[in-house]
A and B are shown apart, each in its own frame.
Chain A
C-alpha cells in the first residue's frame, strides 16, 4: 500500500469547516483513498473513500487532486463530537492477490483533530 503523510494535529472551531490534508505521492492507479476516524479508543469508523473524483456523503467530502498525489477530507460544520484521530489510508479494493491480504487496513499515526468551542 502507498504511504501517506498527515499532519500530527490540527485545531478547528466548532461550526467551522475542518480541512484535513493527506499526501500520498506514491499512490498507484488502482489504489483508492480511504478515511477513517477513531474517537478516543473506540473502534475506527469508516468515513468516505474515493478513486479520483471528488466524493460527498452525509459525513464529509473528499477532494482528490487531479494528479491523485494528495487529498483533503472536509468536515463542513465541525462539532465537538468530531474530535478524533483521522486516518488517511490508500489501498486497492481487492481483498487479496497472490496470498497478500489487501483487505488489511494499514493505519498510520493519523491527525489528531481537536474541535474547540
Chain B
C-alpha cells in the first residue's frame, strides 16, 4: 500500500532533549516536506527536499533540521526542543512527473508533539 509513515504518532518530551521524528515513503517520490499545524495558523511548511541531499528551508525552519540521505526517508530533527514547538507535525511526499512538476501530495498521519 502506498503510504507515508511517521513515527512516533505521539511524543511528550522535555525542553532541550534532542528528538527525531522519522518519515518514510514507499512511493519513490522525489519531493518531501514537513509541515506543522497550529490552531489559527493552519499548516506551515518547515523544510522541504527536492531529492536526495537537496534540502531547503520553508516558512518556519527555525529550531529544526532535516536530512535526506536516502530517497525514502526524511527525518525531522529538533536539536533542543522548546515549548513553542508543541504542535501537530505532518510529513508529505509528492512525485515529480518528470518535468519538474508535481500534482498531488501524500501526507502522513501526523505526529503530535508536546514539549514541556
Q: Which of A42, A94, A103 is most buried by chain B, counting CB atoms within 10 A of its CB?
A: A103
Q: Which of B13-21, B66-74, B76-84, B105-113 contacts A (4 or more CB under 8 A)?
A: B105-113
Could you tell me if A42 and B110 are in contact, using CB atoms closer than 8 angstroms?
A: yes
Q: Are B96 and A95 in contact (CB under 8 A)?
A: yes
Cβ A94 vs Cβ B59 within 8 A: no
Does A21 interact with chain B (Cβ within 8 Å)?
no
The 8 Å CB contact of B102, one of A44, A103, A110, is A103
Q: Which residue of B lies closest to A103 (CB)?
A: B31
Contacting residues, chain A, for B94 (C-beta < 8 A): 103
Chain B positions within 8 Å of A104 at CB level: 33, 45, 48, 58-59
* Whole-angstrom CA separation of A93 from B45 in the bound complex: 17
- Find out whether the CB atom of B101 lies under 8 angstroms from the CB atom of A45: no
Q: By the criterion of a CB under 8 Å from any partner CB, how many residues of chain A are at the interface?
A: 22
- Chain B nearest CB from A101 CB (Å) reads 5
Assess whether B103 is in contact with A105, with CB atoms less than 8 Å apart: no
How close is A45's CB to chain B, nearest CB, in angstroms? 7
- Tell me the complex Cα distance, A42–B43, Å: 12
The reply to whether A46 and B105 contact each other, CB–CB distance below 8 Å, is yes
Q: List 25 A-B contacts (CB under 8 A).
A: A34-B104, A41-B88, A42-B109, A42-B110, A43-B92, A43-B109, A43-B110, A44-B43, A44-B107, A46-B104, A46-B105, A49-B104, A93-B102, A94-B100, A95-B50, A95-B101, A101-B33, A103-B31, A104-B45, A104-B48, A105-B43, A105-B45, A107-B42, A109-B42, A110-B42
* Partner-B contacts on A (CB < 8 A): 34, 36, 41-46, 49, 93-96, 99, 101, 103-105, 107-110
Residues of chain B having any CB pair with chain A under 8 Å: 4, 31, 33, 42-43, 45, 48, 50, 56, 58-59, 88, 90, 92, 94, 96, 100-110, 112
Given contacts A94-B101, A107-B42, 5 further A-B contacts (CB under 8 A): A43-B107, A43-B109, A44-B92, A96-B100, A104-B48
